[in-house]
Amino acid sequence: MTSRKTPSAEGTKGQGAAGPVLLSGGNPQIAKGYGDGPVQAYIAAMPEWKSDLGRRMDDIITRVVPGVRKAVKWNSPFYGMEDDLWFLSFHCFTKYVKVTFFRGAALEPPPPGKSKYPEVRYLDIREGEFDEAQFARWVKQASRLPGEKL
């Protein structure tokens, strides 16, 4: 696969001398970009315990889904298998990290958080509550489903 976008973290939108700005709820403001660089910048900027959680999730996704594509869009990391077709994203909130499985209703068992969109399911991860084994199973399943064009 060839990418139409460059996998760099060029640009400094939302970044000051002290690093990225944290938006409402502590979500890092990272410039839109494709590839591992912008995702790693987002993870490094996640506040407190959330940065370690972000690294653990990214490691699991990368291990379970060889060749996974990464991007930061709308101040959130996205993971997919093809250009602009995504199966998962996550976003920081004050007390948890919300993982979005775009075809989560098709996962077994489905993640617990329902959405106004019937196919989407959420997983809210609070400090100390990350089930890595279940997350890895969901990631593997989600990566095999049709991606969401965003």
Q: Is 59 exposed, middle or buried (0-12, 13-18, 19+ CB in 10 A)?
A: exposed
pLDDT tens digits, 87-128? 999 999 999 999 999 999 999 999 999 999 999 999 999 999
Q: Which domains does the chain have, with CATH numbers?
A: 20-149 (3.90.1150.200)
CA atoms of 98 and 36, how far apart (whole Å): 20
3-state secondary structure of 51: helix
Neighbours of 103 (CB within 10 A): 19
Model's pTM, two decimal places?
0.85
pLDDT tens digits, 57-67? 999 999 999 99
- What residues have CB less than 8 Å from 13, skipping those under 6 apart? 29, 31
